[in-house]
Amino acid sequence: MSNYETPEYAVVEKDGELELRTYKSYLTASIEDLKSESPSGFNQIFDYISGNNSKREKIAMTVPVFNELGAGISITAFVLPAKYANESPPEPGNSRIIIQKIPEKLSASITFSGSVKKEKLDALESKLLKWLQGKNLKTNGNFRLARYNSPFTPSFLRHNELLIDVEMTL
């Protein structure tokens, strides 16, 4: 899929483009924006990994870039390389960027390619929720869009996922 580092996960169940996964804990650098259409969140975090941080250190790009899909607010998050689980990442030069540890979790995903349009996301959300309801699984939190490609990749070649966390009932 790509040569970039991704968060570590194990597939619990697979049904076509639908998956139930357990993710190991990872760190993110995120920023909250009021407008979901704005790329400024991405640009500000990219600035952080490009060296606008306390150590003037370049941080490797990882995939995916997450966008949390909440009402009226957009959160853009970059996953930090796994090496920062053992050493603290540099402090952001931008006070709006938050470094956060994401705990282990169970997530459901649906994979798709092409453009990211509201109608398409709504249909994917419905399909994912119906699949989870059929398994008697309850969701937790907002949907997250995961983008694995640069904006310069033709849309038909893009790998995207829509994810939502699932309550662990083990």
Q: What is the dihedral of CA 54, 59, 64, 67, to 10 degrees?
A: 20
pLDDT in tens, the chain (170 residues): 458 999 999 999 999 999 999 999 999 999 987 654 555 788 999 999 999 999 999 999 999 999 998 777 789 999 999 999 888 999 999 999 999 999 999 999 999 998 888 899 999 999 999 999 999 999 999 999 999 998 889 988 999 999 999 998 75
Q: Please write the tens of the pLDDT for every residue from 65-95.
A: 999 987 777 899 999 999 998 889 999 999 9
Of the candidates 101, 96, 100, which has an alpha carbon nearest to the alpha carbon of residue 31? 96
Q: Are 109 and 64 spatial neighbours (Cβ–Cβ below 8 Å)?
A: no
Rounded to whole angstroms, the Cα distance separating 80 from 63 reads: 9
Rounded to whole angstroms, the Cα distance separating 126 from 21 reads: 19
Of the candidates 79, 132, 74, which has an alpha carbon nearest to the alpha carbon of residue 107? 132
Rounded to whole angstroms, the Cα distance separating 161 from 114 reads: 11
Beta-sheet strands, E only, within 16-97: 18-23, 26-33, 65-69, 74-79
Structural domains of the chain ordered from first start? 9-166 (3.20.80.10)
